[in-house]
Amino acid sequence: MAQRPYIVGNWKMHGTRAMLSEARAIDRAAERLLKVEVAIAPPFTLIHASRKEASLIGIGAQDCHAAEGGAHTGDISAAMLKDSGAGFVIVGHSERRADHGETDAAVKAKAEAALAAGLSVIVCVGETEAQRDSGEAESVVASQLQGSLPRGEGVADRITVAYEPVWAIGTGRTPTIEDIATMHRSIRARLGEAYGETGAQVRILYGGSVKPENASEILATEEVGGALVGGASLTAESFVGIIVAAT
C-alpha cells in the first residue's frame, strides 16, 4: 500500500509559547486531512507544550546529542526528547552541519542514539550551490548518505531521508522538477544499497523553499514522499496550504 505523504514543519529557532496557537490550528486542520501525515519540529522549549496542544500531528525535535547523558552543557539527549513528548528527531540539517561543524559520522551517531531511545529519525542531506554547479550534487549526496545513515535490522522502518539542497533553503529558489526527480531516484538507489529491499519503504522528503504555490508540483514528482518545510511552516495558514496540496 502506498504510504501517506509526510509533511514536516521545521520551526528552527522560532517560536515562544504564543506560537502554540499555530500548532493547535495545524492539528485541527490535520484532523480533516487524514490522507497526509503531518508533523512539526518546534524548538526544544516547545516540544512538551506542543504535544499537549496537538493530539494528532507528530511532534519532533531538530537535533539531539549522540550521548545518553553526561557532561554536555546545553545539549539534549534523545531520551530527554522522548520523555518530553517527541516522536522523532531531525538530524544533519545543513544549518547544523554548517553552524556546528557536524560531520556525517556525528550525524550517524545522533541517528543511532535517537533510534536506541525509541525515536524515528529524519536524516538531512543536500549539496551546496558550488557542488551542484560543478556537477557533484549526486556524488555529494551519495557520500552524505553513506556516512550518515544508521544501518541494521528494522532501521529502514524508522528512517526518513530529507533531500534539501543547501542553496534552496530559505532562498525562494528551488531545483527544476527534473533535478528533484533525478536526485530522488539516486537517493532511492542508495537506500537500496544500504537497506536492501526495505530501502524501498523509506520516505524521501524534498526540502527547500516549499510553499503552497509550488507544493503540488513538487509533491507529485516521482519518489518524492513529502516535504520538509521551514519558513512556510511558521503559520498554520501557509503550512495547511502545503498539507492541502499533498492530498
Binding region for ligand PEP (CB under 6 A): 10, 164, 169-170, 207-210, 228-232
**Among residues 186 and 233, whose Cβ is nearest to ligand PEP?**
233
Q: Could you give the angle at the alpha carbon of 85 between the alpha carbons of 81 and 87, nearest 5°?
A: 75
**Residue 215 CB, nearest approach to ligand PEP (Å):** 11
Contacts with 224 (C-beta within 8 Å, 6 or more apart), sequence order: 180, 181, 184, 204, 205, 206, 218
9 is known to lie in a ligand binding site: no
Was 167 annotated as part of a binding site? no
230 marked as binding residue: yes
Return the number of other C-beta atoms located less than 10 Å from residue 157's C-beta.
11
Location of C-alpha cell 517527541: 86
| Cβ distance to ligand PEP smaller for residue 125 or 210 | 210
DSSP state of 2: P
Secondary structure class of 65 (helix, strand, coil): strand
Q: How far is the CB of 172 from ligand PEP (least distance, A)?
A: 8
Q: How far is the CB of 118 from ligand PEP (least distance, A)?
A: 24
Name the strand (E) or helix (H) holding 6.
strand 6-10
The answer to the question of whether 231 is labelled as a binding residue is yes
Of 22, 95, 102, 164, the catalytic one is: 164
Amino acid code (one letter) for 102: E
- Report the SS3 class of residue 159: strand
Q: Closest separation between CB of residue 55 and ligand PEP, Å?
A: 25
Comparison of 64 and 195: residue with beta carbon closer to ligand PEP: 64
Q: Give 4's DSSP letter.
A: P
Minimum CB distance to ligand PEP, residue 232 (Å)? 6
The answer to whether 93 is a known catalytic residue is: yes
Q: Annotation-wise, does 207 bind a ligand?
A: no
Contact 38, 10 (CB under 8 A): no
Grid cell for residue 158: 524508522
* Closest CB to ligand PEP among residues 195, 234: 234
Of 193 and 213, the one with the shorter C-beta distance to ligand PEP is 213
- Whole-angstrom Cα distance, residue 232 to residue 229? 6
100 is catalytic: no
Q: Is 192 assigned a ligand-binding role in the annotation? A: no
Question: How far is the C-alpha of 33 from the C-alpha of 90, rounded, in Å?
Answer: 23
Enter the C-alpha cell of residue 33: 486531512
Given the residues 22, 53, 65, 93, select the one marked as catalytic.
Answer: 93
- Kindly list the catalytic residues: 93, 164
Q: Which residues are annotated as a binding site for substrate?
A: 10-12, 170, 209, 230-231
